[in-house]
Amino acid sequence: MTADTAPASPIVTRGLTKVYGDLTAVDNLDLELYRGEIFGLLGQNGAGKTTTILMLLGLTEPTDGTARVLGFDPAHEALQVKRRVGYLPDSVGFYGDMTGRQNLRYTARLNGMRGEEAERQIQQVAEGVELSDRIDTPAGTYSRGMLQRLGIADALLKDPEILILDEPTTAIDPIGVVGILGLLRDLVNERGVTVLLCSHLLVQVQSVCDRVGIFAAGRMIGLGTVSELARQFGADNSRVEVSFEGTTAAASERIRSTLAAIPHVTAVEPGETLDEPWNLTVSPADAGRQVREAVLSAAANGQLGLTAIRSVSSSLDEIYRNALHAEGLAA
């Protein structure tokens, strides 16, 4: 299947449901992923994310509903799906007495790759996840973060059209996380890969995903871009962050009264220290520009020593909590 013939929506589910006894793990899921996007499936452990993945891969059959992955039914054409989808489970396992390269060679053989083709691909994915300096040491000596990197390399080995990653950055250091998320963006931009990223790490999801689905108690309770979700679940306000230099306790009171008097500013919160930025709550949300212009004018007239001003977008953490409250699932 080439990029020209691949479906515009590589993953489509309609009414997808999975029931275990009295537990409905996935409840009537309608989902459509677009080609060349990073989609974040966000939810706490037990929300139903992993069960959804298992149905998409044909590793468990749905109780009801349908799924199509690259046009194939994973419940009856699982082999076709697995040939085209790279998967990183939330708990990766490798042969500890084999090197990272030997583990990848084993995966390559399972996928029909041998010889120079396999070696080229192994080296390429090892470099992509920044593991080339340890690829020839036993996997049993790897840290948890290194095993995660090896798992991502393993998922990329078959040059998949879809990449499904279940908690891919667990135990990876912050610098490494930036590299992994950058790699995912490159795969989308350069190869048109579709990425389904399942995580409970909201900051990472917000930083890299094109769209986000909020999953709770087996149901999709919110879906869209972060901006769309903010409008759906956020309060009708926005925030503006301002910083001042040389702030003293006396100056702080003057700053507070000046900012509080600006139209559409409903709350003024100073930083925890004199050097930290102030946060202004703005209502309605689309009055942010007016407030920024008014702050600039007031700061200049009052000689407040303004050094920086910027709008702050709604955090996914706030959106997520509001979504749970709206559905009565906050507990």
Domain contains 329? no
pLDDT of residue 137: 97
Q: What is the CATH number of the domain that holds 297?
A: 3.30.70.100
Closest by alpha carbon to 87, among 35, 140, 50, 42?
Answer: 50
The domain boundary, picked from 183, 209, 232, lies at: 232
Domain contains 325? no
Q: Which domain holds residue 112?
A: 11-232
What amino acid occupies position 3? A
Structure tokens at 14: 């309609």
Q: Is residue 133 located within the same domain as residue 224?
A: yes
Which residues, other chains included, contact 181 with Cβ-Cβ below 8 Å and sequence gap of 6+?
Answer: 169, 204, 207, 208
> What's the average model confidence in pLDDT over 109-131?
93
Q: Is residue 71 located within the same domain as residue 184?
A: yes
Domain contains 213? yes
Helices (H), the chain: 49-56, 78-84, 100-110, 115-128, 144-156, 174-191, 202-208, 226-233, 249-260, 288-302, 316-326
Q: Is residue 183 located within the same domain as residue 308?
A: no
Residue 248 has pLDDT above 80, yes or no: no
The domain boundary, picked from 183, 204, 232, lies at: 232
**Full strand arrangement of the beta sheet holding 238-244:** 265-269, 278-282, 238-244, 306-312
pLDDT of residue 330: 63
Domain contains 326? no
Quick count: other Cβ atoms within 10 Å of Cβ 25? 21
In residues, how long is the chain? Answer: 331
Q: Is residue 251 located within the same domain as residue 276?
A: yes
Q: Is residue 163 located within the same domain as residue 252?
A: no
Domain count, the chain: 2
Domain contains 190? yes
pTM: 0.78
Domain contains 174? yes
Looking at the chain, the whole-number percentage of residues with pLDDT higher than 90 is 58
Output the CA torsion sign for 178, 183, 188, 189: positive
Q: What is the CATH number of the domain that holds 79?
A: 3.40.50.300
Q: Is residue 72 located within the same domain as residue 193?
A: yes
Q: Is residue 307 located within the same domain as residue 193?
A: no
If pLDDT is split at 50, 70 and 90, which confidence band does 236 have? low
Structure tokens at 255: 């700053």
Residue 81 φ then ψ, to 5° = -70, -45
Q: Is residue 181 located within the same domain as residue 309?
A: no
The torsion of the CA quartet 110, 69, 172, 102, rounded to 10 degrees, works out to: 10
The domain boundary, picked from 232, 259, 290, lies at: 232
Which residues, other chains included, contact 288 with Cβ-Cβ below 8 Å and sequence gap of 6+?
Answer: 238, 240, 282, 311
Give CA–CA dist 188/38, Å, rounded. Answer: 7
- Strands 11-20, 238-244: pairing is unpaired
Q: Is residue 216 located within the same domain as residue 239?
A: no
Q: Is residue 266 located within the same domain as residue 224?
A: no
Domain contains 321? no
- 84 contacts 1 by C-beta, under 8 angstroms: yes
> What's the average model confidence in pLDDT over 288-315?
88
If pLDDT is split at 50, 70 and 90, which confidence band does 73 have? very high
Domain contains 44? yes
- Per DSSP, 43 falls in state -
pLDDT, one tens digit per residue, over 167-214 is 888 778 888 888 888 888 988 998 899 999 998 888 888 889 999 999
Residue 141 has pLDDT above 90, yes or no: yes
Q: Is residue 20 located within the same domain as residue 161?
A: yes
- 312 contacts 241 by C-beta, under 8 angstroms: yes
> What's the average model confidence in pLDDT over 74-93?
92
Q: What is the mean pLDDT of the chain?
A: 89
Q: Is residue 239 located within the same domain as residue 228?
A: no
